[in-house]
A and B are shown apart, each in its own frame.
Chain A
Amino acid sequence: MVDQDKIQFDLVKLLNGERILRLTDPRTGLSLEKKLKPAEAVVRQKDLLLQVFEAALARAELTDA
């Protein structure tokens, strides 16, 4: 499991009111973002995105190895 403190989170509020959550691993440069669904809880969406991000990160590290 990745250390959350080492991941960079960007919360971007777009002009049209939509919200983007972007996760970036500064070490590998891997970045993943999602437009948040306005009706869904932010915490749940972040947790799901973090799971996907961790999986992508693990795969990227395997590929690099």
Chain B
Amino acid sequence: MIGVVPGRHDVDFNVRWKDAHDLLCLVETKNPAAAVPATSAVVIALPVIAADLKHHLQSRHPFPEVFAHELLDGLLGFHPSKCAVMRADRQGADFASSRWTIFLFDFESRDHQSDLTVVIDTDSFLNQQLGGAFFIAEIQLTQEPLEDALGREAVAQTRITGREFRLTIRSGLPDDELSITLYHEILEAATVASSHPPESVLDLNEAGFEAAAHRAHQTWGQASVENLNRMLQFYGFRGE
């Protein structure tokens, strides 16, 4: 995932997950002239423990070593300028969650914190009407290897029951890929779910759906309920 940490610092950060399984992330300044404060560190927290961390920070307690030990599997590299690379472990964490919180610590002030703006929050799609007829009942980002009935490895699966879609997508995709995957899955699912799909999708093959998803991502940006609806309306889905 790529997000921006606004915070009280002078620079914005890009946070890029390098390895979703190990929670390895790269933090770099968006402004090439700016530098990551030498005294800063980034801790990636999951919702289960985020509240505890917030409480700890609000109490102005010194940097919580206990959390450092619990969260950080090891400091892989920490550069006073440009970037910092850290790794957090998954201990006690609900790893399946798509919501993340980033805490930006300033070791001097000890109480600076920022919430990561997650570009795609998959929960926001749930139970919202799509194309006037469909809705997403579930999106699961799974770390477990996806396999079909014959044991073939899969990257995504969309189950369509009537008007209801249930998506399972392998976790760890960069935001742009996740966005394109969502556009693709929803457009193809709406097409398959329709008894009489719009003419504009009648001739689309797999490459056609993929190209449509890329165009949608380029035209409307990151997948959201609003943008999925824009795409579905563009292709003529207006409810059956």
Same complex:
yes
A14, B197: Cβ atoms closer than 8 Å: no
Q: Which residues of A contact B185 (CB under 8 A)?
A: 11
With A41-B203, A42-B205, A42-B206 known to touch, is A11 a contact of B148 (CB < 8 Å)? Answer: no
B205, A8: Cβ atoms closer than 8 Å: no
Q: Which residues of B contact A19 (CB under 8 A)?
A: 206
By DSSP majority rule, is chain B's interface helix, strand, loop, or mixed?
mixed
Of chain A, the residue at the smallest CB distance from B170 is: A15
- Bound together, the chains give a CA A19 to CA B155 distance in angstroms of 10
Asked if A39 is an interface residue, CB under 8 A from chain B, the answer is yes
Task: Give a binary string over A36-50; 1 marks a CB under 8 Å from any B CB, 0 the rest.
Answer: 111111111010000
B interface residues, Cβ below 8 angstroms from A:
148-149, 152-163, 185, 188-189, 191-193, 195, 197, 201-209
30 contacts between A and B (CB under 8 A): A6-B162, A9-B161, A9-B192, A9-B193, A10-B160, A11-B185, A11-B189, A11-B192, A12-B156, A12-B157, A13-B154, A13-B155, A13-B156, A14-B148, A14-B155, A15-B152, A15-B155, A17-B206, A19-B206, A20-B152, A22-B148, A31-B149, A37-B205, A38-B205, A38-B207, A40-B205, A41-B205, A42-B205, A43-B197, A43-B204
